[in-house]
Every structure is written in C-alpha cells, then in structure tokens.
Amino acid sequence: MSLIPQQSVEFSLAFPTQVTVRREIHSDLRDQGLLLRHRQAMTVGDISAKELVLWSTTSPIEVTVFVPVGSLIVWNVWRDNAAMHGLLGNAMIRDFELPDGAVMLECSDGHAPRESTDLRVELRFDPGRAQEP
Amino acid sequence: MDKFLDYLDGDRAIYTFVLAWVVAGSIWVVLDWLGNPSRGVFRPKGERYAGTWRERRDAHRRKVQEDDAGIRTTLRDAYGVSSLQGGWNRGREARVLDSDDLLVRNRPAPTPRQKRKRFVRLPELQPQELLLPSEPVLATYDQSQPIQIPEPILPRGRWHHGLDPLMLSAGGASPKAAAVRRRVWKNHADEHYWGTENQERMRTGKPPRRTNPATAKVETASVDLISARPYWKSTAVDPFGDAT
C-alpha cells in the first residue's frame, strides 16, 4: 500500500502490456470514472487515444486496454454538473499490490473524505498477451 | 466744563463722538422696535391668516405639501415620473400619485377605465370567400384555459451571489464574458470538492487550478458561456460513450 497521499498513480511499463481494468465497486452518488493517460495512443477495441476515461455508467465491468511501452498515469474522475472533474479537493488514490501481481486502486472523489472509497478497481498487467493494435 | 474739555483732548474726542452716535442709534432701534406692532415675517395681505397659531401651523404644513405636490406634478407631466431621485420606484410613484391628486387637483385619482371599444363594421363575406371546411385549422382558442404569458427567460437586476450568472443588467444588457466567469466561480465557491485553496480563489472570482500529473503543468478551469457551467479542458475519450 502506498503511504504517500497521491491523486494519481504512475506505472512504468517496459513492454507493451495488456492492462485489464476490472471495476469492483463504485459509488452511485455521482458518476465515477478512471482516467488513463499515456504519451502514446492506447487501444480499447477499435478506439485509440492518448487519454481514455472509463466511466462507471458506460463501460463494462472489465475492460482490456492495450498500452504501449512507457509511463501509464492513472487517476480517478467524477462527474459534476455534466462536467468531468478530477485531481481536486479530497480526491485521493490508495494502491495495494495483490499477491498475484495485480494492483488494487481505491479512489475517493473530491466530495467524500479521503478515507472513503467511491471507486475500487483492479488493474492486471499481462505483458505476454499484449497485441499490437 | 473746562475739565471736560481738557478730558476731550486728542483721541478721546473721536472715541466719545463715535460712542455717542452708537448709543443714539441703539436707542433709536429699540424705540422703533417697541413702537412697531408688526414684528413678524412680511406676508402679503392675501396670504395673511387670521386664526390661532395652531390653525396657522396646520395651514402652513398644508401649503408646504401642496407646493411639493405641485413640483411632483410638474415633474410627472414633464418626465413621466414624480421624482428624478434614484430610489424612486413604482410603488412610491403610485402612492404619491394618489396623494398629489388629492392635494393639487383636489379630487381622487381617476379609476382606470377600459377603453371604449370601437366596433368597425366589416363588409360581409361572400360565400366564396369563406374558409373551406376541408381547410385544416391551425389552432383553437380554449376559453377555459388562461392565456399563459411567457416569463422573461433571463432575470434582470443587480447580480449577487447565488443568482443566475447569465442574469441581465437592470437595463437589459448582457453581461460580459469575464463577468459571467466571475459570477460562476463565486457561485461554485461553496462546493468543497474544489479544495480549500481553490475555494479561496473562487470566492474572489478567480478560476480554480489543478496540476496535471501527466504534463506537470497547472491547468485552469473554464466556463461554458452558454450554459454557465464550469469544466476542464480535456481530450479524454470514453470508448463506450460519447460524453466524457
């Protein structure tokens, strides 16, 4: 678990990696989302973009993202007044490393206290199954 | 006598002469004041009031009110309002209108009457000019339903915290873009999810800021000037939906 309060988490990928994002719980008070940012385009199905957002209201529970080599930065976002917000106020991410190598992210949005969990996702990194889009 | 003439040597003669004239003038003023029975303010004969001092005071107050009403009536006839002061409103105008009518015109304010309808005799329609039964009717007036007068879309007046940021001025002028942004930030300053530092900025009308961890640059929030909503510029793509 990361003890340093952080609003984003960075993963350094030495190989093209297939990242499986599995959403475990999310708050119903407002739309919660996970934003993935990379210097190069990432691919989800037919969509390629340098910045992807997976909303709790639209995306399936499990999403597979193909991420190229480099630094992947992840932070949580939420929707207020029909606009996407993030990196504000009490927004915070706590990351846990699971025994099988996956990473669990517990995110709180800017409304709730930092200790609360508004979104919990599991990120599984699988370099061997990465495919070039 | 010689002693007196010796005493009047030099400047004393001048002082004594002046003092004698001052004393004589004072005596003359006192005698004139005692002998003149009319010691009040000069009033023409037409305005002199023969009565008790209470009646005279009431008459004076009424005269002042009539003078004020006369001035207001003149202003109203010239400019359409009874006062050129800024704090004058329609309610005060209506009250003053009634009182002025009683004072100046000495008759109650006329009750508003409906304008007399003037009927115009139209030429009778010929059968060929009548609407054909097959012609579609565009609308039907239903007397049971009151006519809804649409309210103005945007309020007018002096903006303060909590009101619509797109509110027009009292004169109907649209706010400038900078004013809209300032109003939006002040309205959203109470939402704690912006963070304490940003809330302090927003209370002064400044936009909130955040640091993008990917670029390490400080980003500033924007305002949609049509919907008056705050947002962050972002190129994020939702692969499963349109809205981000």
Best B219, B234, B235, B242 residue to mutate vs chain A (most A CBs within 10 Å) = B234
Q: Is residue B227 included in any domain, yes or no?
A: yes
| Residue B44 maps to a domain | no
Of A37, A88, A110, the CB nearest to B214: A37
Q: What is the pLDDT of residues B10-23, one digit of tens each?
A: 788 889 899 999 99
**In whole angstroms, what is the distance from residue B239 CA to residue B232 CA?**
19
Measured between CA atoms, how close is B153 to chain A, in angstroms? 21
Which tens digit of pLDDT belongs to each residue from A67-116? 999 999 999 999 988 899 999 988 999 999 999 889 999 999 888 787 78
Residues of A in contact with B234 (CB under 8 A): 51, 84
CB contact under 8 A, A88 and B213: no
CATH 2.60.120 given to domain A9-129: yes
The domain boundary, picked from B85, B103, B121, lies at: B103
Residue B18 belongs to a domain: no
Q: Choosing among B197, B209, B244, which should be mutated to test the A contact, i.e. which has the most A CBs within 10 A? A: B244
- Asked whether residue B244 carries a pLDDT value surpassing 50, the answer given is no
Q: Which domain holds residue B67?
A: 55-103
> What are the φ and ψ backbone dihedral angles of A78, each rounded to 5 degrees?
-150, 165
Is residue B98 situated within a structural domain?
Answer: yes
Q: What is the mean pLDDT of chain B?
A: 81
Q: A82-96, B87-101, B145-159, B182-196: which range is least confident on average? A: B145-159
More confident residue, B102 or A74: A74
Given a contact cutoff of 8 angstroms between Cβ atoms, the answer to whether B101 and B107 are in contact is: yes
Contacts of B25 (CB under 8 A, 6+ apart): none
CB pairs under 8 A between A and B: 93
Please list the residues that pair with B210 across neighbouring strands: B219
CB half-sphere exposure, B76, CA atoms < 13 A: 17
Q: Check if the beta carbon of residue B165 is closer than 8 Å to that of residue B183.
A: yes
Of B103, B133, B166, which closes a domain? Answer: B103
Number of domains forming the structure of chain B = 2
CB nearest to A47's CB, from B195, B214, B239: B239
Whether the pLDDT of residue B69 is over 80: the answer is: yes
Residue extents of the structural domains in chain A:
9-129
Q: Are the Cβ atoms of B194 and A80 closer than 8 angstroms?
A: no
pTM of the model: 0.57
**Domain membership flag for residue B219:** yes
Residue B128: inside a domain: no
Query: What is the ipTM metric for this complex?
Result: 0.86
B236 vs B219: CA distance, rounded Å: 15
Q: Would you place residue A133 in the very low, low, confident or very high pLDDT band (cuts 50, 70, 90)?
A: very low
* Paired tokens of B227: 């919907």
Q: Which chain A residues are closer than 8 Å to B241 by Cβ?
A: 55, 57-59
